Amino acid sequence: MSVLTPAFTEVFESPDTFVLPDGSVYIAGQSGEERAHGYERLCRGAEDVIFWSLIDSSRSLAVLEADDGHKELRLRSARDMNLFVEEYRERVIWLDITGLPHAVWAPLVRALRRSPGKGKVVYFEPSGYRFSSEPTPRAIFDLSEKIEGIAPLPGFASLTTSSRVARLCVALLGFEGARLAYALESLQPQRQDILPVVGVPGFRLEFPFLSYWGNLSILRDSGAWKNVRMAPANCPFSVYALLSELQASAPTRSMQVLLVGTKPHALGAVLYCVDHPQAVELVYDFPDRRADRTSGIERVCVFNLDRFPTAVTG
């Protein structure tokens, strides 16, 4: 079955057409972005919904609050995550990654992936992004305050391979060329081993062109423009398939995947890493995001992890 079939991804052209089933468990975060509050209408329209809201988090701990109390989840503890998921074995868990930081949603995705039949991931696409008042080729939009630095996502330790074979560096591109430049400077991959991935088609028609523009100097100077791959910006399963193809073409080489693009692309990389932990290292720079970096809500994407075949190899 193709990874692009509706069995795995459902796209709702308007938030009003997406209805949350009764009896669901919904996990979401809050931010200053309008789209991060799209879940509020969903939860009001459904009955018997257990809603968990992220009220505080760090790289090691997430504090979630519901009507009947709160939970503290250690993000590096597989046991904490698995127990939280298994608590709702009779319900469907909906994980809304729109307003959640990577450090929180990635460990939860891992727990859902290891509990087949349990989870769905929700993502609200923005209508637009906040343009910079003084745009430069590497900073078209004003999206991040600063970059905190390269570090593993909680529970996703770095590879410790002693192989002298250079790793493939798969860069999931967004608009922020400064983030890509920082990651490449930190990792120092061989120029010929950099494989950029552009979101095509994008959330909007012009977004792929803006992604090229934002990363133009790096793509040109490194020669990586010759290695560009494409995957729909809102499809994690296409990224999963791409990583699978790259691994099959070079089975003796591991991959570093740079998460500097869309959250759906990052989701695909996280899923692949869960299934192939010895083959992939996730690289994240922990940007400090602006609260008003996007505007509006467009489509709603539902990624059916509960239907996506599990292929754990490590």
pLDDT tens sequence across 167-194: 899 999 988 888 999 999 999 999 999 9
In this structure, the strands spanning 25-29 and 50-57 are parallel
Q: Is the pLDDT of residue 1 over 50?
A: no
Residues of the domain holding 103: 9-127+296-307
Q: Is the pLDDT of residue 2 over 50?
A: no
Q: Is the pLDDT of residue 41 over 80?
A: no
What proportions of the chain, in percent to the nearest 5, are helix, strand and coil?
30, 30, 40
Are residue 98 and residue 172 in the same domain, yes or no? no
Residue 34 lies in a domain: yes
Residue 133 lies in a domain: no
Instruction: Give how many domains the chain has, as a whole number.
Output: 2
Report how far Cα 150 is from the mean position of its chain's Cα atoms: 16
Are residue 285 and residue 213 in the same domain, yes or no? yes
Looking at residue 151, the DSSP 8-state letter turns out to be: B
Mean pLDDT, the chain, integer: 85
Are residue 174 and residue 242 in the same domain, yes or no? yes
Distance of alpha carbon 283 from alpha carbon 194, whole angstroms = 14
Looking at residue 310, the DSSP 8-state letter turns out to be: P
Residue 4 lies in a domain: no
Are residue 115 and residue 149 in the same domain, yes or no? no
Are residue 263 and residue 168 in the same domain, yes or no? yes
Strand, helix or coil at 216?
A: helix
Overall pTM > 0.85: yes
Residue 137 lies in a domain: no
Residue 48 lies in a domain: yes
Q: What is the CATH number of the domain that holds 216?
A: 3.40.50
Are residue 25 and residue 111 in the same domain, yes or no? yes
Give the model confidence (pLDDT) of 211-267 as tens digits: 888 899 999 999 999 999 999 999 999 999 999 999 999 888 899 999 999 999 999
Q: Is the pLDDT of residue 290 over 80?
A: no
Are residue 153 and residue 260 in the same domain, yes or no? yes
Distance of alpha carbon 149 from alpha carbon 145, whole angstroms = 13
User: CA 144 → CA 148, 179, 197, distances in Å?
Assistant: 11, 10, 21
Contact indicator for 171, 183 with CB cutoff of 8 Å = yes
> Which comes out higher in pLDDT, residue 313 or 164?
164
Are residue 22 and residue 150 in the same domain, yes or no? no
Looking at residue 166, the DSSP 8-state letter turns out to be: P
Looking at residue 224, the DSSP 8-state letter turns out to be: G
Residue 136 lies in a domain: no
pLDDT of residue 127: 73
Q: pLDDT band at 314, cuts 50/70/90?
A: very low
Are residue 277 and residue 300 in the same domain, yes or no? no
Give percent above pLDDT 70 in the chain: 82
Smallest CA-to-CA distance from 121 within 309, 308, 311, 305 is with 305
Q: pLDDT band at 160, cuts 50/70/90?
A: low
Residue 63 lies in a domain: yes
Smallest CA-to-CA distance from 211 within 172, 263, 184 is with 172
Strand, helix or coil at 245?
A: helix
Lowest mean pLDDT among 79-88, 151-160, 214-223, 287-296: 287-296
Are residue 83 and residue 189 in the same domain, yes or no? no
Q: In what order do the strands lie in the sheet with 9-12?
A: 9-12, 300-303, 119-124, 93-96, 25-29, 50-57, 61-66, 69-74
Are residue 107 and residue 194 in the same domain, yes or no? no
Are residue 113 and residue 155 in the same domain, yes or no? no
Residue 132 lies in a domain: no
Distance of alpha carbon 90 from alpha carbon 193, whole angstroms = 45
Q: Is the pLDDT of residue 313 over 70?
A: no
pLDDT of residue 163: 54
